[in-house]
């Protein structure tokens, strides 16, 4: 499947290339830093087929895609070459002067924006190297391999090298985020792990620089010292480029930057970062290790809230530190617990829900959650139904109690906490970790079944979709929608229901008239008929949209429901195909209205997409209207000119 059209639609909906300062993707999301957030058309973003949900974190506008996000990201770059330089490349000529992570917004937004941009690019290497170390630990624990063999030592080197040089890897990614020179940052951080310097600091003799003491610290496997060094480098480099002429930027700026920031790092920033990292990591590990069942219940139960607020991102540096120095981490299993608890709650909804559409949605999002993508189910079902969310928290607490109570560990940060990410848990504690996931899943499922839930937040639009009185209006023959009173063509209603002004439609793209002038109808039944006599131009793949061209050149778009593209065609049956000849009142679609109304607004929009080709488009019906009854009057330019004479 290709995503070029989806990519073009997403970029357009976030305000176009000129509104994007930088972008990249994580495991499930496209992440945009924008010039003007108000230019984003959220409804248009949600309407894109590949989009599952959106999230505005303040520092970033996140478009949640799911497992296919790398393909969509590749399509964005292919269809918008001008954005390529803005993809994790702060040194490009057209890159912006600042990023959301480095400037603008609250301190919290900048902090989490920095974390969310710096660490995801490292995930592939972290996952590969971590899995090697985890599998080796498992092989030794099972007695399949000895640490004394050369095979083990070679494989261990492959897995451990990335973590040994972690300061350099962190520096490369952080330099992109801070928009400073990547290779100068790498050179500066390489000095921290330079063998001769490490030996000098480890010799036990006092070390000074211009009389200032240099603290004996080992920087291999660390995260924070390198981050502080690159942060300082970005400021020094920015000031130098502002003060010095461009002719000196190539040679003088790197020289002065390294000579200034290097000693500052060795004397102050490096030791400070090491102390901060050791204290926070030690405290977290103590809580996770000695808090046992209590910590598991607390963190396991609250993990969905922690993830939703982005607070888990703050722990990434310490997770990496644990993986690098200890070979495993006790916090990561809790993210798996959260995934399986959400999945269990969603499957419970599928078992107990009365609405067919709610059951179908919960099943699909439940399987998606098991694959490690919980956002669709979490935001779409659990949050609206509070008891379901509570049930998932109960299951998460139970799974967390098992995980921390029995020493569950993760051995790699693989970027997916669902079934595909299970290899990251492979190690001596694998059995207890799997047990915690099973408890989380079953615990959530049972809790939701016992607590029950109210489906009305997801089905509240059903009552609105069925007016108390059936519209009574005389239908017209097939020519009634073509001419009337000599003003020009008329467009009939494609469905029986209640007329709704276009400005009141809960979709900004339609309400603002972006797609053309027209009107909407809140349907009372699911029979969608042709509003004109002419040709079917297109039946959208998800069958919720039909485009037609009348014999008089009026181009009509019939859009059934708001955000119904997300249903993927479920509940819709098409009776025509592209190129078919139709007449007014001929059936186009059949919609399972109660099922669609259970989760979506069923307001059906009728717009003239080539409105600018006519002098005017005005509604001619109010209140209730019958299918095939006159709905819109289209005034031709010829008639308008004639009227002025």
> Catalytic site residues?
26, 559
Could you tell me the two tokens for 589? 């679609």
Q: 550: which strand partners?
A: 534
- In the three-class reduction of DSSP (H, G, I as helix; E, B as strand; rest coil), residue 534 is classed as strand
Cα 305 to Cα 315: distance, rounded to the nearest angstrom: 15
Residues 6+ apart with CB under 8 A from 110: 59, 100, 101, 102, 103, 104
* Best CA proximity match to 327, nearest among 446, 221, 195: 221
Structural contact between residues 219 and 193, judged by C-beta atoms closer than 8 angstroms:
yes
Structural contact between residues 524 and 496, judged by C-beta atoms closer than 8 angstroms:
yes
Could you tell me the two tokens for 192? 């921290």
Cα 63 to Cα 83: distance, rounded to the nearest angstrom: 16
DSSP tag of 603? P
| CA 52 centroid distance within chain | 8
Structural contact between residues 548 and 509, judged by C-beta atoms closer than 8 angstroms:
no
What is the C-alpha radius of gyration for the chain, rounded to an integer number of angstroms? 30
What does the CA dihedral 155, 161, 162, 164 come to, rounded to 10 degrees?
A: 140
Q: Within 13 Å, how many C-alpha atoms sit on residue 292's CB side? A: 4
Structural contact between residues 572 and 560, judged by C-beta atoms closer than 8 angstroms:
yes
Structural contact between residues 109 and 59, judged by C-beta atoms closer than 8 angstroms:
yes
| CA 603 centroid distance within chain | 27
Which residue matches tokens 């020519």? Answer: 479
What strands, in cross-sheet order, belong to the sheet with 490-492?
A: 490-492, 630-635, 616-619
Structural contact between residues 462 and 416, judged by C-beta atoms closer than 8 angstroms:
no
Cα 141 to Cα 144: distance, rounded to the nearest angstrom: 8
3-state helix, strand, coil in the chain (%, to 5): 55, 15, 35
- In the three-class reduction of DSSP (H, G, I as helix; E, B as strand; rest coil), residue 519 is classed as strand
């Amino acid at each position: 499947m290709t995503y070029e059209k989806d990519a073009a639609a997403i970029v357009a909906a976030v305000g176009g290339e000129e509104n994007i300062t930088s972008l990249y993707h994580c495991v499930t999301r496209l992440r945009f830093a924008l010039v003007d957030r108000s230019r984003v058309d959220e409804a248009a973003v949600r309407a894109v087929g590949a989009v599952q949900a959106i999230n505005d974190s303040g520092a970033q506008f996140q478009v949640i895609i799911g497992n296919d996000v790398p393909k969509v990201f590749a399509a964005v770059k292919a269809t918008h070459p001008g954005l390529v330089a803005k993809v994790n490349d702060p040194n490009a000529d057209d890159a912006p002067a600042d990023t959301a992570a480095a400037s603008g917004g609250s301190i919290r937004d900048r902090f989490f924006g920095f974390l969310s941009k710096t660490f995801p690019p490292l995930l592939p290497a972290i996952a590969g190297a971590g899995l090697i170390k985890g599998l080796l630990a498992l092989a030794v624990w099972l007695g399949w391999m000895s640490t004394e063999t050369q095979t083990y030592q070679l494989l261990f080197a492959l897995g451990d090298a990335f973590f040994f040089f972690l300061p350099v890897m962190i520096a490369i990614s952080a330099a992109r985020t801070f928009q400073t020179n990547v290779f100068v940052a790498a050179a500066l951080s390489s000095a921290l792990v330079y063998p001769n310097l490490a030996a000098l600091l480890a010799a036990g003799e006092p070390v000074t620089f211009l009389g200032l003491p240099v603290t004996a610290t080992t920087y291999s496997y660390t995260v924070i010292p390198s981050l502080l060094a690159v942060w300082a480098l970005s400021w020094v480099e920015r000031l130098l480029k502002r003060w010095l002429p461009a002719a000196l930027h190539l040679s003088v700026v790197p020289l002065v930057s390294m000579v200034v920031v290097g000693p500052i790092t060795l004397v102050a920033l490096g030791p400070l970062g090491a102390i901060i990292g050791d204290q926070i990591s030690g405290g977290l590990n103590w809580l996770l290790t000695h808090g046992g069942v209590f910590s598991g219940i607390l963190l396991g139960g609250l993990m969905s809230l922690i993830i939703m607020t982005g607070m888990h991102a703050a722990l990434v540096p310490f997770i990496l530190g644990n993986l690098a120095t200890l070979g495993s981490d006790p916090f990561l299993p809790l993210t798996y617990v959260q995934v399986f608890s959400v999945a269990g709650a969603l499957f419970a909804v599928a078992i107990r829900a009365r609405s067919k559409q709610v059951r179908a949605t919960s099943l699909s999002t439940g399987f998606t959650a098991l694959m490690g993508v919980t956002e669709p189910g979490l935001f779409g079902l659990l949050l609206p139904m509070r008891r379901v969310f509570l049930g998932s928290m109960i299951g998460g607490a139970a799974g967390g109690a098992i995980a921390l109570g029995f020493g569950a560990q993760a051995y790699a940060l693989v970027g997916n906490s669902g079934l595909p990410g299970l290899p990251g848990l492979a190690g001596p504690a694998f059995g207890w970790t799997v047990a915690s996931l099973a408890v989380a899943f079953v615990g959530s499922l049972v809790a939701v079944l016992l607590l029950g839930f109210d489906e009305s937040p997801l089905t509240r639009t059903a009552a609105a979709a069925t007016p108390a009185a059936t519209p009574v209006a005389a239908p017209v023959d097939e020519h009634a929608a073509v001419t009337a009173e000599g003003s020009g063509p008329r467009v009939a209603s494609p469905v029986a229901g209640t007329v709704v002004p276009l400005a009141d439609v809960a979709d900004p793209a339609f309400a603002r008239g972006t797609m053309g002038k027209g009107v909407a109808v809140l349907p009372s039944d699911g029979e969608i008929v042709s509003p004109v006599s002419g040709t079917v131009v297109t039946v959208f793949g998800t069958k919720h949209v039909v485009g037609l061209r009348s014999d008089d050149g009026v181009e009509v778009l019939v859009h059934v429901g708001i955000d119904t593209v997300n249903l993927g065609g479920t509940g819709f049956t098409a009776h025509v195909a592209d190129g078919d000849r139709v007449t007014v009142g001929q059936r186009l679609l059949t919609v399972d209205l109660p099922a669609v109304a259970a989760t979506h607004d069923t307001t059906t929009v009728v717009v003239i997409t080539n409105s600018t080709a006519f002098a005017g488009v005005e509604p001619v019906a109010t209140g209730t209207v019958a299918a095939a009854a006159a709905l819109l009057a289209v005034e031709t330019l010829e008639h308008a000119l004639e009227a002025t004479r």
